Amino acid sequence: MKRIALLLPYDYQLFSVATILDVLATANDICERQKKQTPFAITLVQLPEQILQHGSSFHGHAVKSIHARTLYDIVLIPAITMHDKAATKQKNMAYVPWLQKQFKTGAEIASFCTGANLFAATGLLNGKLATTHMDACPDLIVEYPSVYVKPGRTITIDERCYTSGGSTSSFHLLIFLIQKYGGNELAVRVSKIFCIDLNRSQQSYFSTFRPDYSHSDELVKKIQRNMEENYLRITTVEEITKDLPASRRNIVRRFKQATGVPPIEYLQHIRIEKAKRQLELSNLNISEIINETGYTDPKSFRKIFVKLVGMTASEYRNKLGIK
């Protein structure tokens, strides 16, 4: 079960908070009816002065202070009103150190619509992809030039940082989280209940590869780090396993058990994600990107790219690259 903190910042949009609570509660309810473990434990979080002013309950949900010292797996930032952006930002700056601490201790952070403004204020989105409501993108680009703002995206996923576009895009980010932690079957059931179109454009982000270190196998973690640091030079499983105190067969078995994929496929995922980022953010031609990601055979690269992404590298750049 994932511990979720849902912020209730100053000037939050009630629709956004209600959507998050309703969708995640629906996912939990489905699991309860099936007598399965619920995937999410949701806690509402506010500043102490907000709790003093409004009380420690929100529509039947308990509200905890950010000073409770609780560490969360996922932190959700709902949309905030933008009528007086400077004043709203100033009031919510007290959340910034708490968000930074949660991220530092391993939490994933997701913002919905204009919640990206508070997320960006933490500096955690610097050098990362992000999106927000179309009308709010120009201001986000100007105020946070180190963030790679992508107007028009439904959602963005960059390492442990997630953002969504305008209000209805929130459903897609929630479905992504449900799919990740509750499985595809649960995500589909919830999407049907809320009439969410899973084929909406630019949902290819749902297949973004995310290295998972939540398992307890330290040997596998060592291999993962090795591949992520040396993916340009590694070409075979033997190169990964040669100095490790276990047989190749045992290592492959343990690796697949911990990560869900064999070592060589994990390596391909790392390389293709690097290629996708270059296609999104750089003007390098595809031949240069192939070299930059450790491939020596262009034909092999193209075949693997289509297999993992569902389109060619050229098509991916045309859809998602810089304009």
Share of the chain above pLDDT 90, in %: 58
C-alpha closest to that of 192 among 169, 175, 215, 209: 175
Q: Is pLDDT at 323 greater than 60 in this prediction?
A: no
Tokens 């995310």 sit at which residue?
A: 210
**What is the DSSP-derived secondary structure letter of residue 80?**
B
Mean pLDDT confidence for 282-300: 91
Q: What is the pairing mode between strands 74-77 and 57-58?
A: unpaired
pLDDT at 322: 64
Q: Is pLDDT at 202 greater than 80 in this prediction?
A: no
pLDDT at 205: 38
Q: Is pLDDT at 182 greater than 60 in this prediction?
A: yes
**Continuous segment of H or E residues that includes residue 198:** none
State pLDDT tens for residues 208-257: 576 777 788 999 999 999 999 999 988 888 888 888 888 889 999 999 88
Q: When comparing pLDDT for 206 and 187, which is higher?
A: 187
pTM of the model: 0.66
- Residues 173 and 6: beta-carbon distance below 8 Å: no
Q: Integer distance in angstroms from the first to the last C-alpha of the chain?
A: 41
Q: When comparing pLDDT for 183 and 100, which is higher?
A: 100
All domains of the chain in start order, with CATH: 2-207 (3.40.50.880), 209-323 (1.10.10.60)
